[in-house]
Structure 1
């Protein structure tokens, strides 16, 4: 007998008049709040000025949202949004691409390094690597609550039937809950990076933690793409997500090699 989980959860937590509070937005905000607290602890450990924290937060929020949204629009649904430009700003309905988000985050961290800290890019990127993995995990949970980015059909007992999927064809049969797969893998990445930072002092090898983030996040992303329904884009032999993940993994391996070749960095007292 075929068994599966019927998933008919509302993406909305509650509403007050026209104001809607949705799981996706809550998870996004909560991830950034926890991440801010973690980065603050790292700043205190290394003796960095706490005044920089607000700048990091604002740069990251802006870079993540702009990059991820534009990435989704350009890489996955340009045909639609080019005809409905007014809907590009409706990020509360979902539609953020991780590859675009990375471009936005890298740009934001470079701007922070150049204009605020006057230190190397890796000085800050190694600190935010683990928190950003956590944000990614929570965003994928938000995707689950939105019944979006669903998997291919599955007869596994843990398959989900996404009753509220955007397209009726996606709601007809049980599917892999690939959002859960990704979320758990990003949580694992978060745990590994945090452990390496606090227990192994790998922050003293500038670039290593950033590189490992790229390798793990996009390595997992490459694998989970095999379980996803078609998300659109330009992929054929491989999906769009897989094509975009390959250079990210290679870049990460280069960063790890660079970090391991560097002399250990000492704590910087401001």
Structure 2
């Protein structure tokens, strides 16, 4: 007999009139709130100007949301969204890509560094990424509540049976469950929490923010290398990935991992000089 977890979580936490408060949005908001508090303590530790912090929060939110949405639309379904550009705005229907969010943040921090701090982008990233692993983990837990982005069938005892007809089930239909599958949302969330812990340790215990690019490089390796390997267990998000040796998520992860390695090596070489 194959043991498994029958996952029947409702993606909606509660209703406020016609408004739905969903677990995904709540996890996203909690992650950003805690992340803000962590960066606020870092700002106090280094005695940095408080207006920089408020502007960093705005730039990061905009870069994350806009980048993640455009990343999903252009990386995974460009034909559909370019033919129906208004659909890009319907972010409440789902569809955010972490790689797009990363690119969006990079662009946002470019402008933030030029207009606000007048410091290097790496200076900002070494501080910004410290809580970002926590935010990423919270988002993956939101994916778990949405019964989405899970993996292949498995006979391991922690396989989850997810509801495949969420929309119909919410309207009263009987649930249709997947085969016991890898809960890859949890796998990624755990890896992201480990990356978060390492970045916190580097910043608070090792003062690694003084070695420009080191924390940022470690973060990039931790997040995107784990993503690369976990993708082998995931179901493809789009049909065109079926005949690919590496799926889109893996192809997009490779340059981020390589960049992370380069930043770590660069920081250590500068330290040893």
Contact kept in structure 1, 2:164 and 2:178, CA below 8 Å: no
Q: C-alpha distance in 1, partners of 2:70/2:166?
A: 21
Pairing of 1:119-198 with structure 2 (within 5 A): 119-164=119-164, 171-198=177-204
CA distance in structure 2 between the aligned counterparts of 1:53 and 1:17, rounded to whole angstroms? 35
Q: Aligned-pair distance for 1:123?
A: 1.1
Q: How far is the alpha carbon of 1:167 from its aligned partner?
A: 9.6
The corresponding residue for 1:267 is: none
Q: Does 1:30 align with 2:38?
A: no
**How big is the shift at 1:58?**
0.2
Contact 1:147 1:165 in 2 (8 A): no
Cα RMSD after superposing both structures: 1.9
Compute the displacement of 1:79 (Å).
3.8
Deviation by residue 1:45-80 (Cα, 9 ceiling, x = unmatched): 111101111100000000000001110111112344
How many residue pairs match? The answer is 263
Superposition TM-score, scaled by structure 2 size: 0.91
User: For the Cα contact (< 8 Å) 2:27–2:139, is it kept in 1?
Assistant: yes
TM-score by length of 1: 0.92
Is the counterpart of residue 65 in structure 1 residue 62 in structure 2? Answer: no
| Match of residue 207 from structure 1 | 213
**Unaligned 5+ runs, structure 1:** 265-270
Contact kept, 8 Å, 1:94 with 1:146, in 2: the verdict is no
Deviation at 1:91, TM superposition (A): 2.4
**For residues 77-123 of structure 1, what are the alpha-carbon distances to aligned partners after superposition, in whole Å with 9 as ceiling and x for unaligned?**
23443454333223234321111011001111111110000111111
1:130-165 per-position Cα deviation (integer Å, ceiling 9, x unaligned): 211111100000000111101111111111110145
